[in-house]
Each structure stands twice: as structure tokens, then as C-alpha cells.
Amino acid sequence: DAKTTQPPSMDCAEGRAANLPCNHSTISGNEYVYWYRQIHSQGPQYIIHGLKNNETNEMASLIITEDRKSSTLILPHATLRDTAVYYCIVRVGDYGQNFVFGPGTRLSVLP
Amino acid sequence: GAVVSQHPSWVICKSGTSVKIECRSLDFQATTMFWYRQFPKQSLMLMATSNEGSKATYEQGVEKDKFLINHASLTLSTLTVTSAHPEDSSFYICSATTGQGKHEQFFGPGTRLTVL
């Protein structure tokens, strides 16, 4: 699987949008971009995934560049409960394989 | 979304004893379950992949005789840490998937193991 690069940490003011970048310059055509987050001492929580098109759900939006070499996860109105480690993962398809977790980005939402 | 539970949520044991951790998919059948380990301030590392009714596949460097995995049914996988030592103290997390056609993987809440 392709590797990803994320900033180790970011801060965001409560109520503002949090934009978390991810580089995946070696992504293959059949690899999806997934985002999970892990709140302290809990299991990872699925946020969103996409292949080419931008995606939005009740939690976040995922913006993927046209060349697919990078993406941005957007939390539109960050709350204190969004403080967590956010993982950007690329993985082939939907065949039930495991995820390979990198170090992620530690997002701190500040009051 | 679907729910995966783990039991116990935390356990403290003496060195040399064995500890069993259960991972259950509560409202779906999991053809595949994964076991991860996470040390403090580090990311999750895959230990093994288990498919219902077959032997688990272990990642390189993970001792299969020390970390026994049993996936006896479509809703239950167990991880037994045999002869635990302090260096086995970690956060153990399982995840489950229904297999093909499903992107989302559901993670359990994790089990904190402390070996004294």
C-alpha cells in the first residue's frame, strides 16, 4: 500500500473549520483514501473515505486533488470533542484487508 | 454503524500468567477480524489477521505461540497472551469486517493490558 504523510500536530479554535492535510503522492489508481480518528484510549473511529470525487457526510468532508496525490479532511465546525489523532490511510479497494496506520495528526481543538 | 465490543476493557496480571481478550461483533457477521497492538504515544501495529474457521495469519515479528488467536465463530475472536511479561503491556485493539464489498472496518474500544 502507498504511504501517507501528515503533519504531526495541529491546533484549531473551537467552532472554526479544521483542515487536515494528507500527502499520498504514490497512490495507485485502485487505492482509496480513508480517514479514521482515535480519541485518547479508544479504538479508531471511521470518518470518511473516497476514491476520486469529493465526499461529504455528517462528520466531515473529504477533498481529493485531481491528481489524487493529496487530500484534505475538513471538520466544518470543530468542537472540543474532535480533539484526537487523525489517520489518513490509503488502501486498495474494499476486499476486507487491514489498515496500515501511520503516526497521524494530533488535532487539538482549543476553547 | 456496526458495533464491535471487547472484553475486558482493562486487565492487570502477574508476569507469567495468561490473559484472554475477547472481540465480538454485536450486530453483524465478521468474516475477518484483525488484532492490533498500540504502545504509548505510538500508532496501531497489526499483529494478526484471523478468518473464521481458519488459522490466523501473523505479521512478521509476532510470535504465534505467544499470541494465540481463535476465530471460532462469525461473531467472536479471542486473543490469548500466554506467559505474559511486562513488555507485553499495551493497548490491544480488534477490528472486524464483513469482507468483500465493504469499505468500513469497525474497531473495538480496546483492551489495556498491564503486566506486573
pLDDT digits (tens, 9 = 90+) for A4-26: 999 999 999 999 999 999 999 99
pLDDT in tens, B25-56: 998 888 889 999 999 989 999 999 998 888 89
3-class secondary structure, A80: helix
| Residue of A98, A100, A106 to mutate for B, most B C-beta atoms under 10 A | A98
Say whether residue B60 is in contact with chain A using an 8 A CB cutoff: no
Which positions in chain A touch B93 (Cβ < 8 Å)? 43-44
A32 CB contacts (<8 Å, ≥6 apart)?
A: A49, A50, A51, A90, A91, A92, A93, A94, B103
CA distance B83 to chain A (A): 25
Does residue A38 have a pLDDT over 60?
yes
Type of residue numbered A35: W
Mean pLDDT value across residues A41-64: 94
CA distance A44 to chain B (A): 6
CA distance B6 to chain A (A): 10
Residue B32 in contact with residue B87, Cβ under 8 Å? Answer: no
DSSP sequence for B68-95: EEEEEETTEEEEEE-S--GGG-EEEEEE
